[in-house]
Structure formats: structure tokens, C-alpha cells
Structure 1
């Protein structure tokens, strides 16, 4: 069984788990909890003692690296992943929120925050990361957002040659298969969208890659939001063309009414077809084996399943760490690479002093504005309703379950507080929200909705955090995460300014004519403030903080002379040969948008670095 969920999370109403709820859980488990991928014939292949390359982690970047390196037929590639196969339930676009917390996701919590998540238990912010073949691309919102020219040109200017926009764009395009036509009854609409993107931005996109990027079917509510912002003189653009400012239709990683994870895009098409690629799941790497005399990575130590028996396996060329922004720095530190004081306190021998975990960056969002509209879903949200719609999706990949929790509108704005003239400082997405009678503990089970939540996200935070080992149990415990969200007062000011800017849509004739109006929402702890005051927005952002889950920077890229960096521009760990980090943790700051696209691009770029280095010489 690849997937299971705790009965008291999301499904059950408060303090109870009814017979209907238990039956629904049984349905989900029996029909969606297993994985088609379990049928691949090389799933349980015998592991050799040595490989050319060992890839630790099969997330968004790791799947790309596994695919690209195994293109070289005489290279032996081993992928070690802590999670299990990707289950069928992950393919279901409309049920994203049921995926966490569950067996295919890590639930990380920050240490108590001083300025954020005040309403959460112990003031700790939740961060979800994927734990399955495909990593976080299995549990995310499927948004494909690259960032903009200014982001990558800035990264390049900080001592990272080859990372400017003109350098990374080919790697974005290499993966991409822009494919809008998905739903036959709205073919005309989505063909128009595809032609708009390809004709106006012909150099920004490509077709034929492994990763399918598509749009959503037409919905009247999304169109109303879109037209209302056009009334405010926001122009339509393609946010993946390099210049994000303006109004766009969503681009998501989905195919034929289903999610397409990095596993679905890069591993399934080749799995079982390339005998030089071996994937071992339910395997946790506990240490990188480093030859201390030569300062070279030569293999890894790992455990399988629930066992804590240590096994060793060796790499003749390189060890590639692709565990993500939280697990990659943890593994480096467990292997003796990190801050000296940190390692000594954990009883770990220091092999190389580097600022691992020291520059954690993430976006932060606030959702204080909810809009109600006529003709939304008004019936009760029951287990029977959802089960019937899931059953229909299982046989057709159509219907409401092929949708998303997002409306088909994406807005990037630059507030008056922005100092940079080349990019936005706020991203706005519009979430479907259900208000009414429900069987569920958490009622946000799309696609049933009668309200819109405006989610305003800060793209350029000045606040940054860090990640440290849990000294009492460094191997088996989650690392200690210090998010430091909203620590810099400027961040809160930008969020409030973003909310104020977006709220102007409430006064448009489009919204008023359609009968859209704002409704107050419960905000315990903020009742004393008028719900449209700066004081309310400040209180709401600090109490009900929503991290972006776009964390980067814990294995920061930079020149060897840069005391803040861990890897060089070719993603090689400073001072340790045969070791690279290839995932979003190497990005010096979070690009302006969701991190799936940048992580996949990093996988493409890192794979090319490896091929260049080994094929050119050997």
C-alpha cells in the first residue's frame, strides 16, 4: 500500500469519525491508495555494490537527473528514495489537500516563531514536503512558474556564471511540452490560450519535452475575476516568458485530467526500459561516505524500510544529493559538512566547514479576503458526493475532479513599496472555498465552492531563516527549522500593501454587476479590529500565516570565496570532490513564483554539468 492517511486528519468532523467517514476512508484506500508503478518489473532488482552515480532523493530535481544521466547507456545509476511509489490518489488534481499529512508527505514544523503563525500550536508554522517517488511534485498545487529574468540575472551577477535568464531558459524549454488542449468540450477556448502563448511568446516555450504543461477548463467565476482585473488596467501576459508583471492564465503540470509529477514525467516513460537505472524505494541515506584523506565522496550509508541496519554502497564517479531544501542540508551535516560548532555539538566529526543550512528563504502569504458570489455550490458536502465524483474520474479522468483548487487566474503585481523596477513583489492566486454544511473536518475539498479566497504572497522577503540538526537525535529526527517569517517589518508592510492593491477589484463594475461581494471571515484574536483596516491585516498575517512552501538556500550556490555559499556554479560542494547538490536548496533566494519549475530546471542544468565534466574528459 503506497498511501495511507490518519483518520483524524482532514476527513473526520471534529471529535468523531462516523461510519460514513470510515467507509469513505476505506474507499480511498482500496481504490486510490495503491500504485500502478508497483507493477514495473525492475522494482525489486538486486542492488550491486558499486554504481557510477548514486542519486540521493527522487524529488522534482532527482527524477530529472535520473532520467538524463541514464541516457548514457554505459553509466550505472542508482536512485535511493526514502518514500514509496506515487499512489493513484496523487494523480487526482482536485484532492490535493487530502495528500497531507499522510504517508507520502513530511510534516515539518518550524521552531516557535516570534512574528508568525501565532494562532498555531506553539506558534509553529507547518511546511509540507513530498515523501514519494516524485517528491513534492506529488503533493503540490501543480503550478508551473519559472520566475523572471531579473531573478536569474541577479543570481548570475552574484558569482554564478551560466545562471542568467538566457542561460536557464533553454533548460526550462528542454523539459517542456506545452499542451493546452485537454478537455474536448472547451477545445476552442484552450486552443486560443495556447495560440496566445506560442504566437506572442514563441521563444519562451517548447513542445515535445517530458513535462506536460497545460491549462484548466473554462469556468465562469475565473473569467469574471480575469475581466475584473482587466478593468483595473492589468494587461494579459505570460508569466513564464521572463516578464511576469500582469494578468495570466494558469499553467500547471497536468496531463489528460490528471496530475503529472516529476515521477510521471521523467521516470515512468523510461522505467523498466533502461537497464542501467535502478530505483530503490523506502531507503533512507544516513551518511555520505567521504575519503577524509582525498576529501572525496565515495559512497553512502543507508537503511531500508523500518530497519536501522546500516548498509554501504559505493559510487565510482559521483554522489548527487537531491533531497530538497530540508533533507539535503541535513544529510550534508550528518556527513561532516557544515558549521563547525553545529557539527561538534551533535558529536559529528568535521570534514569540511561550510555554512550548510544557514540561508533559508521562503515566500509567505496571507489570505484575509474572501468573496462570495451568486450561483455557487450550495448543497451539503458529503462523503457520498465526493466518492461518486471520484469514481467518475477514475473511469474517465473527466468531471469536476479533473479540476484544481485554484481559479484560472494568476496575477503578479509591483506594489509602491517595491524597490526593483524589473519584477513584481507580490503574487496573487485565487483559491476555491466552500462555506456550508459538510461532513469533513477540513471543508476545502475542491471543486465544490461558493466563495473565493484571495491569497496574497510576498515574493521578495527580507526575512530569512536557518536549519539545524536536532542534537538529541540528529539522524532519525526532523531537523530544527527556524523560519523567521515576517521578522523584518518591511515584509509585513508589503503584504498589507499587496492586499490593499488587490482589494481594488472589489469596486470594479465587473464584480458589482456579477454580484460578487466581500464577506467577513472568522479571525480569532483579531476581532477588535475593523476587518478592512491595516491593523486587521497585520493581525491576520501574523496569526494565520501561510508559508509558501517554496523554501531554498540551505545549500546556497556561490563562488568558493563567498563565505555564504556551499556549492559552486556547477553545483559541486566546495572542497569535496565527487559530490554535488542538485535541487532547489542551491538557489540563493526564492525565484518569484513556485519552486517546481526552477527545481526541474536545476535538475536539467545539473545533469548537463555532469555530462560535460565526465564525457568531455573520459
Structure 2
């Protein structure tokens, strides 16, 4: 790469990332200079007023929260406040290829798990990185943008467990309501809608590696499918929440189009909620406390407080407010208002960073040095959606598979292969390595040679859909600014490792099909440090590798689990009301009862739509 191209590229991207990383510091400096009012409308929508009153207060502006805010504010008689701890999106968020870099900014809460005994052995202190979005748009502003709703059996299972109104027939119309699909070949599919707020499209950039993988998967017997259609099983190019090649976040889809037209919707960025205000006698929520610019504020809610803060922050806020496990709250001195199993269950999709395959192609793997000035001009100025920069972190195709050990029905996938046109070497150790908390010795042994040689390669991340391992989340103390303790207990059930091993074996089988052999695909034969005692590529070697190169795709669920009254594991009812409480709901992916056969971004929008319907039905005419 020429010095001029390097300067142009990195100046542009660094400037964008710097804005995100330094927003809080910038606001403090601006306040000290007395310039708050000048930049009020460009950096933050509103300054809070102490004791302000609203009908609904929504905590968290992720996919569910933005959906709720947009839908509830459709009623001009209702005043709605949307509260978000983070800031606003910028050019970096809208550039899909920069997904990995966003993990190093203030847009990520930066959570890590407690040290894992049986997983994440390749990470510093065995701590898994568990990114969550912090900003208007939430995780939809930093995730890989994969749009995958789930399997009909997921939702039918929810309904069968007593969650009336959550069957596949109930939720499919809600998925469709959210979607504005621009999917070539699926224009007339009954499983897609073309008039919703959220843009869904095939990623326009497509490498020869992805084409070979899709063809090889078909040669291996996996049908081409629309995994959001009639059947998930098979292989497909990835469907993404992008619009003309740029990220289409929850904020972009639901809030930006309406915020200037609704005087009844107030949006408060950089506002960290610390507690839900609850009347201990009536057990009714009546407001929130939050910090803004180093000052404490309270807002009052006439109708409801709604937590949409995600799988970590929603349970944290419930517990800080006296709703949660009696033993944990008593230990840290939080007065108990309602005993509930908040955080007692935590499921997550764990995957393996590999296997990686090298190829004989040239110029197909994404490296920063391969992004040209022409690409940048074409993407940013001409709006071309087909450049490197529209690649969603390198993810290009997905395959949904059955495991030979599966006991689930034949149409219910067990494993997903995520085809990435690269690896941790693709960003030359500047983003994903840091974001995943991977140790230097692991990176140097496996990926640095690829970085230095710039050899083409691709990786198949293997993810298990239905893990048996159950973790938990709890408070370390009553300080609302401290992280909760997160212990997913990855691979505590050995069978979870075996499912991923099955996926690795199928990945290798696919690599031997003619389409991939035509480009010289072969397994990267570098050994994972710590697994040297095992024969390379043996089952025991892969088991060791799975526990070392463990990686979460950020699909945590069930910390505020949904279930009917009488379910001892449930925190919220099928109407998403917190059990035993009044005027308090949780509306986000923390309510999902079991790990879905999906990434969770699409489900978050659906839950937001469902929650808005439930709330409007309760308060219609009131």
C-alpha cells in the first residue's frame, strides 16, 4: 500500500473511531467551555429536566428499545422517554467492514466474563470477551448485522411451555412487520416483507472464496436455502441488516426517520440509569434514577417503566432496584422488594474460531492493505454498496447443519457454519484479536504468519445452537457503575464440545468438495499452542482447540427469562410484566427462555414489536 493511500485510509477511519471513543470526554470539555447549547442538536437530542414526567420510560436504545420508542410514540397522547447510556452513531458505525474496530471504542460496554475453567483458554486470564452495544442503536450498531430469525420450533416451544402468544404463527407477522427486504430472488416469498422500517439485503460484496464455499456445501449435500423462509437447513449467502451496503441499525431504522416529527418522544443519550424507582408497598414502578453529565436526575413514569437494556444490563437494573435473588441482594445490602430468579440462568452460543483454510487464490481475503483509495471514494462518496467496505466483518455465507448425534427433529439445525473471508489475521491484529481478548502467543503462532504473507484464506466459525451449559449473572456490589459478574460456564457440559467437533468435521468434509479443491483449499496446519500433545487434527486435538479458541457471537439470553406464573425459573410473564410487580416490564432478548436457532438481532426487533402490541393493548384508551 502506498504511503498516500495509507495516510488517506487510516486518517479517515481513525478520525471516525476517535469520535466514538472520545465522545464522553468531548462532551465534558464542551460543557466546561459553556458551548453545550451550540452542539445540543448535533451530538445529543435533549438535556434532562429534573423530575420530568412521562407516560412511558424506556431504558436502553437497542433494537427492542428503539422499536418500542417508535411504536409507542405513534400515539400523540403518550409522552415517551428513551434513555441510553451511550452516544450517537458516526461514519465508523455505518461502515460494515469496521465491525471489529468498533469493539475498541466507547460504543462497546467492554464486558468480560469471570475466568472460565473449561473455555477461553486462549484468552488473557481465561476471560471471554462479551461485547454489548453502548449507544443509540445498542448492539445493532456494533454487531455483524447478520439477520437470522430462528426456527419455527423455537417459538412453538416457547408457546408450549406456557408462553401464550409466542408461537411461530404469532411472531412471524411481527418479524415481517419489521422488515424491508431487498433480497434478489425472494421478491415474492411469503416469508419476507418489503415495507417495514428495517432494511435486509444480501451483502453486495462477494468474494470468490464465498462462492466456492456455497458451491462446495451444495456438493456436500446441503441444499441452497432461505434460512429465514420455509426451512433453515442448508447454505445461503448471508442476509444482513444493511441498506445499500451500509449498516442499518435500530436507531437508523426506527428512530431517525421519526425523531424530528414527534414532540412527544424525548431521547436522552449519555444517560446512565442506576435504579428503577419502586413503591415498596404497592410494588409499582414509578420512575427511574440516572446520571447525566456527572449529575443525578429522576424521571417519573405515569404508566410504565420498560427495561430494554439487554441481557446484562436489564437484570443488573432489576437487582439494583430490589428485584432478584434474595441471597445475592442480601449479601450486597440491597433491600429486597420482590424475590425472583433474575440472572439465575444465562445461555449463550459458543463457537470455535476455526478451522481456517488457506487457498491458492489472490486478492480475495480482506486485509487493510487491499482497501484502495478508489474503494473508499466509491463507498463513501459514490455510495457503491459492492466494495470491500460493505463486507460485514468478512462474514459472507452461513450453513445450517444437523449433527449425527442430534436428538432433535430432522428440521431443527444443531450447528451453524459462519463463513468468513479471512481470520484474526485479516485486520493485522488491530481489532478482533483485541476485541476477543486473545493472547499474543496464540495470535503469533496461528495468525501472524498469515498476516505477514498476506496469503488468501478463509475461516469457518462453528457455532452450536442448543447448548446444555447454563451460566448465571449476579451483582458484585451495590454500586450501579460496576459491572455485574458474568459466568456463562461455557462447556461445563462436555456434550457441547462434541457438537462443535461435529461441525468442524463437516467443515473439513466440505473443504474437500470440488468447488473448494479447485481453489486449493487446505487446512491451515499450524498447531494451537497448548494442544501440542495431541496429534494434529485428531478428535482430541480439536477438543483442545475448541476450549482454547472459544468465541461468543454475543447471543446471551434468559437472564430475565419469560415464563408463566408458577414457573420457578421465570422473571417475566408472557406479557413481559415482571412477576409480582406493577408497571414494570422487560422487553429485550433477556426474556428469551432458551437459546434460539438464530443470531439474536432479528429476535430483538420482533420482541420490541410484540412488547409494543402488549403495552398498547393494556393502555388503549387510558
Q: TM-score, normalised by structure 1?
A: 0.89
The aligned residue for residue 162 of structure 2 is 159
1:137 paired with 2:140, answer yes
1:268 paired with 2:256, answer yes
2-structure distance, mates of 1:382, 1:149:
40
The aligned residue for residue 463 of structure 1 is 469
Structure 2: segments with no counterpart, 5+ residues: 24-38, 435-449
How many residue pairs match? The answer is 581
Return 365-374 or 79-88, whichever deviates more: 365-374
2-structure distance, mates of 1:83, 1:176:
26
Return 528-537 or 326-335, whichever deviates more: 528-537
Q: Verify the 8 A CA contact 1:117 1:124 in the aligned structure 2.
A: yes
Q: Verify the 8 A CA contact 1:380 1:436 in the aligned structure 2.
A: no
- Cα root mean square deviation, aligned: 2.8
Q: Verify the 8 A CA contact 1:177 1:213 in the aligned structure 2.
A: yes
The aligned residue for residue 418 of structure 2 is 429
Q: What aligned pairs does 1:380-395 form with structure 2 within 5 A after superposition? A: 385=371, 389-395=375-381
1:370 paired with 2:356, answer yes
2-structure distance, mates of 1:232, 1:370:
18
SS of the aligned residue for 2:92 comes to helix
Moved over 3 A (4+): 18-27, 29-42, 45-48, 378-392, 434-449
The aligned residue for residue 457 of structure 2 is 451
Q: Assess, with a 3 A threshold, how the Cα gap between structure 1 residues 235 and 378 changes in structure 2: closer, same or farther.
A: closer
1:562 paired with 2:550, answer no
2-structure distance, mates of 1:535, 1:19:
48
SS of the aligned residue for 1:170 comes to helix
2-structure distance, mates of 1:403, 1:176:
21
Match for residue 191 of structure 2 among 204, 208, 218: 204
Structure 1: segments with no counterpart, 5+ residues: 1-17, 181-193
SS of the aligned residue for 2:140 comes to helix
1:333 paired with 2:319, answer yes
Q: Verify the 8 A CA contact 1:415 1:501 in the aligned structure 2.
A: no
Return 493-502 or 328-337, whichever deviates more: 493-502
Deviation at 1:389, TM superposition (A): 4.0
1:120 paired with 2:156, answer no
The aligned residue for residue 222 of structure 1 is 210
1:77 paired with 2:80, answer yes
The aligned residue for residue 243 of structure 1 is 231
Q: Verify the 8 A CA contact 1:432 1:449 in the aligned structure 2.
A: no
2-structure distance, mates of 1:372, 1:62:
42
Q: Assess, with a 3 A threshold, how the Cα gap between structure 1 residues 461 and 265 changes in structure 2: closer, same or farther.
A: same
Deviation at 1:40, TM superposition (A): 5.6
2-structure distance, mates of 1:144, 1:438:
24
Q: Assess, with a 3 A threshold, how the Cα gap between structure 1 residues 437 and 597 changes in structure 2: closer, same or farther.
A: closer
Q: Verify the 8 A CA contact 1:42 1:272 in the aligned structure 2.
A: no
Deviation at 1:284, TM superposition (A): 0.7
The aligned residue for residue 3 of structure 1 is none
Deviation at 1:444, TM superposition (A): 8.2
2-structure distance, mates of 1:350, 1:524:
47
Return 388-397 or 170-179, whichever deviates more: 388-397
SS of the aligned residue for 1:236 comes to coil
Q: Assess, with a 3 A threshold, how the Cα gap between structure 1 residues 31 and 555 changes in structure 2: closer, same or farther.
A: closer
Q: Verify the 8 A CA contact 1:426 1:498 in the aligned structure 2.
A: yes
Q: Assess, with a 3 A threshold, how the Cα gap between structure 1 residues 426 and 274 changes in structure 2: closer, same or farther.
A: same
Deviation at 1:223, TM superposition (A): 1.4
The aligned residue for residue 441 of structure 2 is none
Match for residue 486 of structure 1 among 470, 488, 491: 491
Q: Assess, with a 3 A threshold, how the Cα gap between structure 1 residues 236 and 367 changes in structure 2: closer, same or farther.
A: same
The aligned residue for residue 404 of structure 1 is 392
SS of the aligned residue for 2:580 comes to coil
Residues 134-183 of structure 1, C-alpha deviation per residue, up to 9 Å, x if partnerless? Answer: 00001100000001111000111111001010000000000100013xxx
SS of the aligned residue for 1:147 comes to coil
Residues 462-502 of structure 1, C-alpha deviation per residue, up to 9 Å, x if partnerless? Answer: 0010000012x531111000110000011011111111122
1:57 paired with 2:60, answer yes
Deviation at 1:391, TM superposition (A): 4.8
Deviation at 1:514, TM superposition (A): 2.9
1-structure distance, mates of 2:579, 2:129:
31
Deviation at 1:354, TM superposition (A): 0.3
SS of the aligned residue for 2:460 comes to strand
1:303 paired with 2:288, answer no
Deviation at 1:544, TM superposition (A): 1.4
The aligned residue for residue 312 of structure 1 is 298
Match for residue 15 of structure 2 among 30, 34, 48: 30
Deviation at 1:553, TM superposition (A): 0.3
